[in-house]
Amino acid sequence: MDNRDFLLGNSNVPHYIWTIICIMLLCSCEEQATQTSQQDIRIAQVKTMTIQSQKWQEMISAYGVIEAAKEVQITVEFSAKIKSVFFKEGQTVKRGQQLITFDSTKRKLRLQNAEQSVKDARARLHKARQEARSTRKLFMHGNAARTKYDATEAKLRQAMAQYEQSLTATKLAMRELRESRLISPVTGVVEKCNVHSGETILPGQLIGVIQVVETVRVATYVSEKDINHLRIGSEARVTSSGVAGYTYSARVEALGIKADTRTGNFPVKLMIENKQGLLRPGMTAKVVLQGLEIQDAIVVPDNILVDRQRRKVLYIVKNNAAEEIEPVIGTSPNDQVLILQGLHPGDKVITSNLQQIVNGSPVKEIP
């Protein structure tokens, strides 16, 4: 039998002995509780950054589609038979490149006839001038009647008009002969080719359509909160998976004044120089537009924002404890986040051990 059994089984033990034993047991429990409590309270060591205001350029990201900046419809003002066609749909053509050769047999004949008409009209004009000079002399000396004088003058005017008409006809015939070769007025990609060899075309008939690609347009959309942050002429960067490794500079050409009824977003159009012709209509594009420039902005790394119950929060150090802040954030280009509300210059934001911290956690700053 040990001492404990002896005490418990001995009813003759004095009461003061029992009192001493109880006090000793209580002191032992309190000491153990204090040690346990001190072990449970752990101070998190954290790194911080001090908030400072700075100049910041807002960047707005969007996705869009490459479009042709200009579309040229190919037509002619005359009727002709096509001899050869040198372009097809999807082909890239250069400014001045030959597209079609027309049958020039009739044009050459028209030019020959027009040139002969000029010779005949010139001869008639020469003869009319000689007769007019002779009649004028006779009329001035009273040897010719007034009616004869008037008749020779009218004949001269008629000969001059016929000569002018023949010259005009010759110029027209020469132009038609030159137009036996139809050339491209622009550099671009052929969207449509509506003719083939041996076909006779009519004046105004649509021969083909060329989309200009020296300069292309990007059509995109931005949200209602971003549309008023853009201006005509604002700069942007454009990339396309169809032209890997290239980044194009662009400028805002037009801002929509009415939102799309389906999405609520506003249309934005940008112009891009496409001198190499690598961007083609229909390609997708990623656009990063420059928005407003803020002089005294507060910007933080996006990795210091953590999810707490579907909320984006961060923590600042206040009185050696972590205080939870749910800030109002703006756009997030790259790895930076614009803080619109919730932080102030001088605040110390916790940047490490964030998963171990909750609101009110004791913390200690470390370098």
Q: Residue 145: inside a domain, yes or no?
A: yes
Q: Residue 244: inside a domain, yes or no?
A: yes
Asked if residue 274 and residue 212 are part of one domain, the reply reads yes
Count of domains observed in the chain: 5
Residue 191: which domain range?
76-101+184-206
Q: Residue 151: inside a domain, yes or no?
A: yes
Say what the pLDDT of residue 29 is.
54
Asked if residue 83 and residue 202 are part of one domain, the reply reads yes
Asked if residue 96 and residue 188 are part of one domain, the reply reads yes
What is the percent of the chain with per-residue pLDDT over 70, rounded to a whole number?
88
**Mean pLDDT taken over the chain:** 86
Asked if residue 335 and residue 306 are part of one domain, the reply reads yes
Sequence-distant (≥ 6) Cβ neighbours of residue 105 within 8 angstroms: none
Query: Taking 70 as the threshold, does the pLDDT of residue 39 lie above it?
Result: no
Asked if residue 90 and residue 194 are part of one domain, the reply reads yes
Asked if residue 214 and residue 199 are part of one domain, the reply reads no
Q: Residue 39: inside a domain, yes or no?
A: no
Q: Residue 84: inside a domain, yes or no?
A: yes
Asked if residue 188 and residue 198 are part of one domain, the reply reads yes
Q: Residue 128: inside a domain, yes or no?
A: yes
Q: Residue 248: inside a domain, yes or no?
A: yes
CATH code (residue 214): 2.40.30.170
CATH code (residue 312): 2.40.420.20
Query: Taking 70 as the threshold, does the pLDDT of residue 41 lie above it?
Result: no
Say what the pLDDT of residue 14 is.
60
State the pLDDT confidence band at 6, using cuts at 50, 70 and 90.
very low
CATH code (residue 166): 1.10.287
Q: Residue 40: inside a domain, yes or no?
A: no
Query: Taking 70 as the threshold, does the pLDDT of residue 331 lie above it?
Result: no
Per-residue pLDDT reduced to its tens digit, 270-320: 999 998 888 888 999 999 999 888 888 899 999 999 998 889 999 999 999
